[in-house]
Structure 1
């Protein structure tokens, strides 16, 4: 398969590097100094047990890539409309798109644009960031994604995508992607919002009884919204989420904290905002997520104007 990684930042470049390492035909679509560094020096991936350096094909122009068999879409949620338009030259008659955003509805617009048979909603459990242009630091022990068709079917085409990825990535094909997305969402949506509001690493916050209780209550609201929306929520999802948080390094930050401190736009509408929006639609009160959403709204589009 020919593969394009659209949005080769931290997670996208990490996945791309691992695929290139095993010989996959991969093109990275990126921009800015990170792109220039990769074009000049290749891509370096720093891992807990060492590092690897791979030569890359990298561009900021999807027209240079041409039609591919698979697009791994790793852009921020608010960049999806722009990405969907610009990646059109990479979409051939049999191209599949795996989405890797946080959130529960990022694939919906793509399915309307390219067709539901082409789009495989997914999520990444890979923690990675740009350490410097052309250099990615992978904090998670593994590179893992889960994806599947929105209708739950396990098709030969979806299995072929999994077979293509598994030599390099822990790629799981599921028949209930909605449950997977919501189980992660009930941790990441309130976790990101609380982390960005408190401005301290999430692992330090949950060491206090008050911080842990706040996160658990916010997660319960998300679970209740998901259940009312007809999603199968793992009854153990909340304790599992807390246990996962406890396993992280003591200075672990969630991405929204990095974004707010850097003055970048936030994925607020697709996270806490989605909890509030879907909660209202299904008639489930979400007072904690409402408050977090309101507190972060001035930062939604980046650094607020200085008084």
Structure 2
């Protein structure tokens, strides 16, 4: 089995690095300066245990390699990039399975339009990608928790094989027939990403993040969506994945914070806070906090503002106005 990692950022880069280190056949797909660095010097992989450079084969897209039976596509892009990525690979990957190693809950639906065998994966993994060619993974003793299952539900032999490969490669992974329940639970946790990106990390934004989560839970309940609880998530994760310290490389913020820091021009808010806004509109549940966070995160990304460009008090006032 060969793993093709589409999107070699913090998540995809860590998955690719761990699988490669444990002896699996891995190819990573990247763009721009990151691709150039991977091709010229390899992937610099930094963890609490040290730093190493891995010679993982890197491609710019499906035209750079010949796909074959037994390949597994692992999509690890941000959700706003999923459609473009899938449309690029689909004509070359007929019959291949696709694993969505991404936040949000829309990716699997997008993939199922183009691929018949789609798997969802919960991603709980503290990682950083700001420098071309370098991935920093803070999780310890495991790099992350990565359960997966068929979409929309179920488990098969391939899911069990992938989970076993990941579990032996430095992750906590298992095949779960109700994987979307886990992903919806993670969605609730991700609703505070926009607060962190806009107002910076710290206690000032916690009340706003709490209110966003309460709206999210109300919308999901109205929609009849079952989700995992924070206690259930903590119990399953246990002490398998802790946030380790890496000398000289503090983790400044999560994935949305990193999108603003890189000035990418886009952010995932439409598929995190925006998912709750959509469900609220469909089921008559007010979601003013998530609507403001979606709007302001998109504005900050579009205007290429740095993370922390608005304080939490001002952000709260926008919700109340």
TM-score band (shorter)?
0.7 to 0.9
1:74 matched to 2:76? The reply is yes
1:234: how far off? 3.3
The Cα RMSD (Å) is 2.7
> Is 2:128–2:251's contact at 8 Å kept on the other side of the alignment?
no
Contact 2:124 2:146 in 1 (8 A): yes
Does 1:86 find its partner at 2:88? yes
Residue 139 of structure 1 corresponds to 138
TM-score (norm 2): 0.82
Partner of 1:284: 285
Give the corresponding residue for 1:161. 162
Change beyond 3 A, Cα 1:162–1:296: closer
Deviation of residue 301 (structure 1)? Answer: 3.6
Query: Once the 2 structures are TM-superposed, how far is the Cα of residue 302 of structure 1 from its aligned partner?
Result: 4.9
Correspondence list, 1:198-237, <5 A: 198=199, 200-201=200-201, 204-205=202-203, 208=204, 211-236=205-230
Cα 1:212/1:129, change in 2 over 3 Å = closer
Distance 1:35-1:96 versus aligned 2 partners, 3 A rule: same
- 1: CA distance between counterparts of 2:303 and 2:176? 35
Partner SS state of residue 147, structure 2: strand
Specify the alignment match of 2:23 in structure 1. Answer: 23
Change beyond 3 A, Cα 1:156–1:132: same
Verify the 8 A CA contact 1:225 1:279 in the aligned structure 2. Answer: yes
Alignment of 1:1-307 (within 5 A): 1-68=1-68, 69-88=71-90, 90-93=92-95, 95-115=96-116, 118-141=117-140, 142-168=143-169, 169-189=171-191, 191-198=192-199, 200-201=200-201, 204-205=202-203, 208=204, 211-236=205-230, 252-264=252-264, 265-303=266-304
In the alignment of these two chains, the number of paired residues is 291
Q: 1: CA distance between counterparts of 2:46 and 2:60?
A: 23
Query: 1: distance between equivalents of 2:160 and 2:92?
Result: 21
Measure, in 2, the Cα distance between the counterparts of 1:42 and 1:296: 33
**TM-score calculated relative to the size of structure 1:** 0.85
Contact 1:28 1:58 in 2 (8 A): yes
- The 1:111/1:128 distance shift into structure 2, 3 A limit, reads same
SS in 2 for 1:8: coil
In 2, Cα distance between the equivalents of 1:44 and 1:179?
A: 34
CA shift in 2, pair 1:146/1:41, >3 Å? same
Q: Distance in 2 between matches of 1:132 and 1:64?
A: 23
* CA apart distance, 1:78: 1.1
* Cα distance in structure 2, aligned partners of 1:88 and 1:301: 29
What is the rounded CA distance, in whole Å, between the counterparts of 1:239 and 1:164 in structure 2?
22
Q: What is the CA–CA distance in structure 1 between the aligned matches of 2:275 and 2:155, rounded to whole Å?
A: 28
Q: State the distance in 1 between where 2:214 and 2:6 align.
A: 33
Partner secondary structure for residue 145 of structure 1: coil
Q: Which runs of 5+ in 2 are unaligned?
A: 306-321
What is the CA–CA distance in structure 2 between the aligned matches of 1:83 and 1:57, rounded to whole Å? 19
